[in-house]
């Protein structure tokens, strides 16, 4: 894959998630116990597909996918067939490309089966892929990075985009951005706003937040009050997060409970920035 293209794709993902630096304390890179981020060139409708694989003892512990130049969904990935051989990562993955509010137009998921062949040289990863995405045969180059698995989080900050977080109104107004610092085992200075930043349509205030980062995982609950000046539903909301951490990238499921209405489920993605983690043994 062209290096400039790969950097552009990774840069776009970081821009969309608000990602910053992942400053874990220095650890030796271990392909069998690291986080692999693989960018597959033109894999979905001629758009890049990014695969995140967290390894433990040579096996995929958890996995996810994104296609931020195609849509903003977090995609399901089965990486159980992947194998580590030294610095090489090989095997087949099954990916379910999930729809967001706009793409694909028919709102149907797209099934993909792809063979990966990747090699890490330090933090840099290069390789190839071949398979089928929907009814299209796909193949090409891949590139990416290998990062260490962080241990228990000491400090850092989260920037999390919660898609379809609010109820009612047009889809583009329902997305929310939550930011929070994390230090000494507690979330601090949490804020919530419309993802595009304009306060004209609605504003929000975080009433309470509990984030529980663990090695490779993030769970928690955010309670907020929304003041709406548009068609979105104002009032009290509770957001329950169940996510995974892949280096600096975070994603997962959101259970949304608006006051007085039935709960609904959606997804979130974002960044763990400026983190300090304990080393894994």
Q: Which of 103, 131, 148 is the last residue of a domain?
A: 148
pLDDT reported for residue 144: 98
How much of the chain is in helix, strand and coil states, percent to nearest 5? Answer: 5, 60, 30
**167 and 132 inside one domain:** no
**163 and 225 inside one domain:** yes
pLDDT reported for residue 9: 47
Taking 50 as the pLDDT cut, the residues of the chain under it are 1-25
pLDDT reported for residue 8: 40
Give pLDDT tens digits for 108-151: 999 999 999 999 999 999 999 999 999 999 999 999 999 998 88
> pTM of the predicted model, to two decimals?
0.90
pLDDT reported for residue 277: 86
CB 116 within 8 A of CB 91: yes
**136 and 179 inside one domain:** no
**b/e for 107-130, b at 16 or more Cβ within 10 A?**
eebbebebebebbbeeeebbbbbe
Q: In the chain, how many H helices and how many E strands?
A: 1, 17
Rounded CA-CA distance 56/76 in Å is 19
pLDDT reported for residue 278: 76
Q: Please state, as a whole number, how many other Cβ atoms lie within 10 Å of the Cβ of residue 195.
A: 19
For residue 114, give both structure tokens. Answer: 């792809």
For residue 96, give the CATH number of its domain: 2.40.128
**131 and 197 inside one domain:** no
**126 and 253 inside one domain:** no
State how many domains the chain has. 2
Rounded CA-CA distance 68/63 in Å is 16
The residues, ordered by sequence, that sit 6+ positions from 26 with a Cβ below 8 Å of its Cβ are none
pLDDT reported for residue 280: 59
Range of the domain at 165: 153-277
Q: Which of 102, 128, 148 is the last residue of a domain?
A: 148
**215 and 171 inside one domain:** yes
């Amino acid at each position: 894959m062209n290096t400039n293209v790969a950097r552009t794709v990774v840069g776009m993902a970081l821009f969309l998630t608000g990602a910053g630096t992942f400053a874990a304390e220095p650890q030796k890179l271990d392909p069998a116990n690291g986080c692999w981020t693989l960018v597959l060139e033109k894999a979905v409708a001629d758009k890049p597909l990014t695969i995140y694989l967290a390894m433990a003892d040579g096996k995929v512990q958890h996995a996810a996918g994104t296609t931020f130049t195609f849509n903003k969904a977090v995609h399901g990935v089965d990486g159980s067939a992947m194998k580590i051989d030294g610095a090489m990562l090989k095997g087949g993955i099954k990916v379910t490309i999930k729809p967001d509010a706009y793409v694909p137009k028919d709102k149907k998921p797209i099934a993909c089966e792809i063979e990966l062949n990747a090699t890490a040289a330090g933090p840099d990863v290069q390789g190839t892929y071949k398979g089928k995405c929907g009814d299209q045969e796909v193949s090409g180059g891949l590139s990416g990075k290998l990062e260490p698995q962080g241990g228990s989080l000491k400090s850092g900050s989260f920037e999390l985009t919660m898609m379809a977080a609010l109820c009612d109104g047009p889809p583009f107004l329902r997305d929310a951005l939550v930011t929070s610092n994390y230090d000494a085992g507690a979330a601090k200075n949490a804020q919530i706003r419309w993802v595009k930043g304009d306060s004209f349509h609605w504003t929000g205030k975080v009433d309470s937040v509990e984030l529980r980062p663990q090695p490779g995982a993030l769970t928690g609950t955010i309670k907020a009050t929304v003041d709406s000046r548009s068609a979105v539903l104002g009032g009290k909301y509770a957001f329950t997060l169940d996510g995974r951490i892949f280096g600096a990238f975070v994603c997962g499921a959101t259970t949304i409970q608006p006051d007085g209405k039935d709960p609904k489920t959606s997804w979130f993605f974002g960044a763990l920035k400026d983190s300090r983690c304990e080393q894994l043994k």
